[in-house]
Amino acid sequence: MTLALLLMRYSRQQTIPHPNQNLTRQKTLAPTLPTINPTSLLGKRPPKMPNPPHIPTRRCVVCRDSHPKPKLHRFFRDEAGQWQPDPKAKTPGRGAWLCQTCFNHPSTKELQRFFRNQAKRIEELLTTKNRNLGFTVTSAGGINV
């Protein structure tokens, strides 16, 4: 067979339907849009959105709610095992964090959950010396020392 006959036979198969084929039901495909790769347009990737700044969170030991670190008051346990206020929140050692509402309205029962036998002393610190601990909360929520 010559090349011309092969081409005619091949082109004929493409244009003439088979006799058993249903001519009324032809498959129609929905038109599709070509996909465009954004890197092919610019030659580089599109810019990423900047990540928001990381704000560390801590959990209040009384109400167990998580808050941003600047909105909490920290107490630390010293070498003698006594809990002390930490106005700068930088002292090394075991730390406990209290939110503003638990700091202003302490409850012995709730404080005992974490501070155990020193709960009374912590409550006295919070009620009698609340203003003298060095904590002042700003309107924006941060702690000034």
Domains and CATH numbers, the chain: 57-144 (3.30.1230)
Q: Which of 62-66, 81-85, 134-138 has the highest mean pLDDT?
A: 62-66
pLDDT band at 137 (very low <50, low <70, confident <90, very high): very low
Look at residue 64 in the predicted model and tell me its pLDDT.
93
Residue with tokens 């198969």, as numbered in its chain: 13
List, for residues 4-31, the tens digit of each pLDDT value: 665 666 555 455 556 666 655 555 556 6
Whole-angstrom Cα distance, residue 13 to residue 120? 95
- Helix runs in 17-140, H state only: 38-42, 100-104, 108-115, 119-128
Mean pLDDT of 82-91: 90
Q: Is there a contact between 69 and 106 (Cβ–Cβ < 8 Å)?
A: no
pLDDT band at 144 (very low <50, low <70, confident <90, very high): very low
Which of 10-14, 58-62, 89-93 has the weakest average pLDDT?
A: 10-14
Q: Is there a contact between 94 and 83 (Cβ–Cβ < 8 Å)?
A: no
